[in-house]
Structure 1
Amino acid sequence: MAAPMRIRQPRNFRDRKDVLNELSDAELIKRYRLDRAGIMLVTDLVRERITNQTERSRAVTPEMKVLVTLRYLATGKMQLYSGDDLGPSQQTGSRVITETLFALSRNEILSQYFKFPVTLENCHTKAVDFQQIAGFPGVIGTIDGTHVRITAPKEFEAEYVNRKRYHSINVQVVFDATYRILDIVARWPGSVHDARILRESSLNQVVFGRGMVPDGYHLLGDSGYPCKKWLLTPYLRPQPGPQSDYNRAHKKTRNVVERGIGQLKRRFHVLHGEIRVTPTAKVCQIIKVCAMLHNICKDRNIRIPAPEDIDEPAEDIEEDYDNAPQAVQQPPLPPVAPRPREGLLYRDEFVNLHFDNDE
């Protein structure tokens, strides 16, 4: 006797909310950090890469993929987009987030939004903006490192334990005076020192190392960085007078990078808590895409939503020192052939020229 024919059940699809047309720009910014035009701009950047080749099974549109990704970056939680009735299941959402992040993190996309000043005109513009803060001349950017917390990776786990004893990526970032990101390096484990990240970066080896930036223009960094002709650091024990004046102006001006990092992490809460994705290469994609989107928000004058308007932020980082893994004992950084006095002497000349009011 022949087996009864199996009747294929029709698939049920959730209705998808047309948020781009139903929500105001203010509501879109609250949920996705971009207005409608900004969301469409981001979608157009990657439309060809993330468009499905078939409409079978109600393929997710490029706009929907970008919305799901933006919602995840804004909140740090994979499941929250379902509360917006966007439609895709969590499994589908995870897949489209991975696909969209990969498309957005390509160098040809990122390079459109991270432009370090190298022409005399651009350097002058950046320097004028910075000088209005505390009178510090010749500054085109402020540099610092920030740690983004991650889950313990399966490979080289100990290398990702930072000095605060949690797993992280140590991210090097440079801001201009308008809190726009000029350069970002997101690939180093949390145990790696800021000075080494700088030494291995294209800023040191190419941009400044090959003289692409005109003389007389600088970055400002904290005392964890080596003092160079193009990177001015504070005096550890300043003398009263010009050195103390220099340190005060330096600190006030360099605060831009600290406030900029705060803005970036408040805008995209995925960076504020622990990023629970693997591998670490995907975490680095998330960091770079958030930085790019931050610059798009700056270009469009989109403010960060007020805390009371932000939906379900990611959890704050709570450092469990009792259960945290033991940090790796890092060997001291090798001297830079040898410890250069050139940068220190240049700083003294700079201070005498610009901060000695008796002359």
Structure 2
Amino acid sequence: MGIHKSTVKKCVYKVVKAINQIMLQNYIYMPHEKEAKFIAQNFEEKCGIPQIIGSIDGTHIEIIPPSEGCKDFVNRKGWPSYNVLAVVDHNGRFRNIVAKHPGSCHDAAVLKDSTLYKNSNTIIPKETQNINGMEIPFIIVGDPAYPLLPWLLKGYSGSLSAEQESFNVYLNSARVSVEMAFGRLKARWRILHQINCDYIFAPEIIVACCILHNFVESKKERFYSEWLQEAEQLQLLTPQPTCATNYQRDSVQGTELRNHLKEYLSQNFPLRKALIRP
């Protein structure tokens, strides 16, 4: 349209920075106590596990890496990326994001460098619920790549009993919300299949897309299934790396919490079997 590329670039940068400066606090934030109760009720209706306020996972966004230090950005699948961490609620809206770590970083390392991990005592609401004699705090659920913490729950691994396998199935039904959110995010904002700009600015674009995702989801904007199908085809070109299981020692409190919830589910809900064996 007769506009020079440099002018377009300046406009894009200004808009992205404005979105992040003005909209971020209003659209991406951890829930306060009252909202956390509402989110937990909705998660419990889905999976039977009480006190869940979010699902956590990572996704890789392809970038053009710097010439120096390129290897730091190459992930386990061999392509350059940022490893983006996100916490998502029952509605598939982003509640916490970290978009600054190169693709070679392990998911657990990204978590441990996050504000959520360092300030969990102040960021996560305090209220507990008594479940069969144990006070259960608000919790976030993740996959085996993350450590087991008093506020971060993951499934069992290794040789599983029927109760442990069933617990994993119920837990995974809560975790699916973050996977769906990443799918819809990338389906709407195709730039996230490869950010073709300076790698330093790429995190700003990622955050802006997450903010806009929450904005349009809150406005119930129409989402076409064709977008998702097209995004899945693009994803085949750069398959997501599978993160290795985190082998660091799990916390005693987290272990006790998981075992207690496993018993609670086995006593109150039918045992389920995984459709796909690990």
Greater Cα shift, 93-102 or 202-211: 202-211
- Other-structure match for 2:86: 173
- TM-aligned CA distance change 1:150 to 1:213, over 3 Å: farther
Aligned-partner SS, 2:223: coil
Alignment-mate amino acid for residue 266 of structure 2: F
Aligned-partner SS, 1:146: strand
Aligned-partner SS, 1:116: coil
1:228 partnered with 2:143? no
- Other-structure match for 2:273: none
- Other-structure match for 2:226: 307
Contact 2:29 2:95 in 1 (8 A): yes
Deviations 1:289-313 (A, max 9, x none): 0000001001111022352799999
- TM-aligned CA distance change 1:207 to 1:242, over 3 Å: same
Alignment-mate amino acid for residue 225 of structure 1: Y
Indicate which of 347, 352, 357 corresponds to 2:258.
Answer: 347
Contact 1:241 1:356 in 2 (8 A): no
Alignment-mate amino acid for residue 235 of structure 1: Y
Distance 1:258 1:277 in 2: 26
Deviations 1:93-152 (A, max 9, x none): 12211121122222x531111121131x21110011112222222111000000000112
Indicate which of 230, 235, 247 corresponds to 2:168.
Answer: 247
When the two structures are aligned, how many residues end up with a matched partner? 257
Deviations 1:2-57 (A, max 9, x none): xxxxxxxxxxxxxxxxxxxxxxxxxxxxxxxxxxxxxxxxxxxxxxxxxxxxxxxx
Contact 1:242 1:357 in 2 (8 A): no
- Other-structure match for 1:164: 77
Distance 1:299 1:349 in 2: 35
Greater Cα shift, 211-220 or 169-178: 211-220
- Other-structure match for 1:105: 20
Deviations 1:230-284 (A, max 9, x none): 111000036434322211101111111111110110011111x221110x23100
- Other-structure match for 1:296: 215
Alignment-mate amino acid for residue 158 of structure 1: K
TM-score computed with the length of structure 1 as normaliser: 0.65
Identity %: 28
Structure holding more strand per residue: 2
- Other-structure match for 1:74: none
Distance 2:238 2:47 in 1: 35
- Other-structure match for 2:42: 129
- TM-aligned CA distance change 1:96 to 1:251, over 3 Å: same
Alignment-mate amino acid for residue 188 of structure 1: H
- Other-structure match for 2:242: none
Query: Is there any run of 5+ residues in structure 1 with no aligned partner, and where?
Result: 1-81, 321-331
Aligned-partner SS, 1:111: helix
Deviation at 1:210, TM superposition (A): 7.0
Task: Map 1:140-159; keep pairs closer than 5 Å.
Answer: 140-159=53-72
Which one has more relative contact order, counting CA pairs under 8 Å at least 6 apart? 2
Deviation at 1:156, TM superposition (A): 1.9
Aligned-partner SS, 1:225: coil
TM-score computed with the length of structure 2 as normaliser: 0.82
- Other-structure match for 1:206: 119
Alignment-mate amino acid for residue 226 of structure 1: P
Distance 1:289 1:180 in 2: 13
- Other-structure match for 2:276: none
- TM-aligned CA distance change 1:189 to 1:312, over 3 Å: closer
- Other-structure match for 2:272: none
Alignment-mate amino acid for residue 139 of structure 1: I
Alignment-mate amino acid for residue 221 of structure 2: I
Alignment-mate amino acid for residue 244 of structure 1: E
